[in-house]
Amino acid sequence: MRKLIKNGTVVTAADIYEADVLIEDGKIAAIGTDLKSEGVEVIDATGRYLFPGGIDPHTHLDMPFGGTVTRDDFETGTVAAAFGGTTTIIDFCLTNKGEPLGNAIQTWHEKSKDKAVIDYSFHLMIGEMNDDVLRELPQVIHEEGITSFKVFMAYKNVFQADDGTLYRTLLAAKELGALVMVHAENGDVIDYLTRQALKEGNTDPIYHALTRPPEIEGEATGRACQLTGLANSQLYVVHVSCADAVEKITEARNKGLDVWGETCPQYLVLDRSYLERPNFEGAKYVWSPPLREKWHQDALWNALKNGQLQTIGSDQCSFDFKGQKELGRGDFTKIPNGGPTIEDRMSILFSEGVKQGRITLNQFVDITSTRIAKLFGLFPQKGTIAVGTDADIVIFDANVERVISRETHHMAVDYNAFEGMKVIGEPVSVLCRGEFVVRNRQFVGKAGYGSYLKRKKYGEDMKHQQDSIPVQ
Ligand code: URP
Ligand code: ZN
Ligand code: ZN
Ligand code: ZN
């Protein structure tokens, strides 16, 4: 049935205006004032914002890590995402050295099939570069529509790739039309520092942060930027946590390099002191890169405001405290890295960003959706509210106050990293391709509704890359 969302305030990366939005066959069919409501289902959105559905460019659902598997899978993870206003996720498909990339992609299709309640796509991890991998890449791009490759510069002996692999991936991406994503931390130096810490009997969660200082991230970020310049390629730095990395990205961009940066809600509002919480609770706050001293938060907010960082990803990677995070009691290196963030990514950016006057409403939309769609080959099907695009729409109440808690969250994990945090603003209803997934704060979606998205090549649509970000 056709739907008419009446009297909402449409917000895009460029505009804010009151209008009715007509939805037909999952697409936005018309936007205007006083659109006819005969024979259509009318949804009143008076006093509410209409945002384009959020796109989370960084999730790890149903992912094996450190001898365990993330608690949230493609069903619980996407339900939680939808409650938070996200209608598309891009998850990281892990690969194994020596095995065909196609096998890994197949595994990820199996994990997600019949589970996702919103649309989804994959990035592909590149752990090694050789003739077999090179031969498979064109198919990955053309058949699977996977146009972004992830290289880990950390997690030695697990995911870490060497610099030669990173450089060759940058070259291949340039030639084939893909965006290279890096986890930028110096894994070799971390390896040394963590061994030293354990040797000295320093086993508590705080040593996770102390053995991965900001210089470790700044150095790797700078190295990745330099190699990107040398390869004349394109780079997206995931989960930027500190001023050191922001500086390197800014420097590269000022030189004209095609370099982009993402941060995450946890780095914007949590800090290193959380790792010192008693009774091993600090383990709940173990991320890589680690939470930083509080002053780094200002650098991240300024970078979002000034456009030196362009996106926010959740880096959703949830492990229960009981039985999973606890694996690291007595040895911080055995704490599974990551936390539950998929649900509150947008709320936190809205509340701490827009409501606190750090970013504009248009920037909020750009950072959570539009820019991500453009960088990852989904625009304009996703990432905006315009005639002809997918009807992925968040009906948002900008005034309601809510306390984040595991008691009310929709993730499967047994704690919430933002427990007790007050946020202003919440999605009331969320539509993905014209169908309600969340309606009046109730889940009405269906596992398996989400469809797999093949994405366009990087640079295929450079016109959209050039669109200026509205800077305050
Ligand atoms: O601690 C984190 N970020 N865990 C997820 C894996 C990664 O490095 O992105
Ligand atoms: Zn990472
Ligand atoms: Zn991640
Ligand atoms: Zn276009």
Domains and CATH numbers, the chain: 53-383 (3.20.20.140)
Instruction: Indicate which atom in ligand 1 lies nearest the CA of residue 238.
Output: 9
For the chain, how are helix, strand and coil distributed in percent, rounded to 5?
35, 25, 45
217: left (phi over 0), alpha (psi -120 to 50) or beta: alpha
Structure tokens at 419: 């427990």
pLDDT per position as a tens digit, 243-289 = 999 999 999 999 999 999 999 999 999 999 999 999 999 999 999 99
pLDDT band at 34; cut points 50, 70, 90: confident
> Which H helix or E strand runs over 65?
strand 64-65
With CA atoms as reference, report the closest residue to 446 among 147, 30, 79, 61: 79
> Which H helix or E strand runs over 423?
strand 422-432
Distance of CA 229 from the midpoint of ligand 4 (Å): 26
Q: Please give the single-letter amino acid code of residue 19.
A: A
pLDDT band at 312; cut points 50, 70, 90: very high
The complex's ipTM works out to 0.92
pLDDT per position as a tens digit, 71-89 = 999 999 999 999 999 999 9
The residue-averaged pLDDT of 456-466 equals 73
> Given CA atoms 237, 238, 243, 244 in this order, what sign does their dihedral have?
negative
Please state the φ and ψ torsions of residue 316, each to the nearest 5 degrees.
-50, 125
**Cβ atoms of residues 241 and 267 within 8 Å:** yes
Whether the CB of 288 sits within 6 Å of ligand 1: yes
Whether the CB of 315 sits within 6 Å of ligand 1: yes
> DSSP states of 159-179 as a string?
T---HHHHHHHHHHHHHHT-E
Q: Radius of gyration of the chain from Cα atoms?
A: 21
User: Across the strands, what pairs with 149?
Assistant: 124, 180
Distance of CA 436 from the midpoint of ligand 3 (Å): 28
Distance of CA 284 from the midpoint of ligand 3 (Å): 16
**Cβ atoms of residues 396 and 78 within 8 Å:** no
> Given CA atoms 92, 392, 178, 214 in this order, what sign does their dihedral have?
negative
Distance of CA 344 from the midpoint of ligand 4 (Å): 30
Give pLDDT, residue 465.
53
pTM to 2 decimals? 0.97
